[in-house]
Amino acid sequence: MLHDDKILRVCIHKDRNIVSIVNLDKNALDTTDEGIYINVDDVPDWIQRKLAVLMMVKTYGANITTPEIEGVGRRVQNGGDEADCFWVYKDC
């Protein structure tokens, strides 16, 4: 597993129709990808590609963390009506 400074938490909020991205390292200098996006199409391409892979991983109910996909990330929450959240690994 990568260190926290290499992970973005990406949540697709279905109830508000937005995507939020937060760097898990609070001391990170690179915050260029962080923010609120109107939809997934506005998210940087490299994150879209990794999300596409992670969305194909089968979940087994709400709040179940899926297995890690090396170099891509993992789904950390299947929030039902609220949000689908992922850890997306930054490319080194």
Mean pLDDT of 70-89: 82
* Residue 78, CA distances (Å) to 26, 36, 47, 81 in order: 24, 19, 18, 9
pLDDT band at 72, cuts 50/70/90? very high
pLDDT over 80 (residue 31): no
Question: H helices of 15-88, where?
Answer: 45-55
More confident residue, 54 or 2: 54
Full strand arrangement of the beta sheet holding 7-13: 35-37, 18-23, 7-13, 83-89, 73-78
Render pLDDT for 52-65 as a digit per residue (tens, 0 to 9): 999 888 776 665 67
Of 14-18, 19-23, 27-31, 87-91, the poorest mean pLDDT is in: 27-31
Categorise residue 91: left if φ over 0, alpha if ψ from -120 to 50, beta otherwise. Answer: beta
pTM: 0.81
Write down the pLDDT at residue 65: 74
Domain ranges for the chain: 4-89
Residue 35 structure tokens: 């923010």
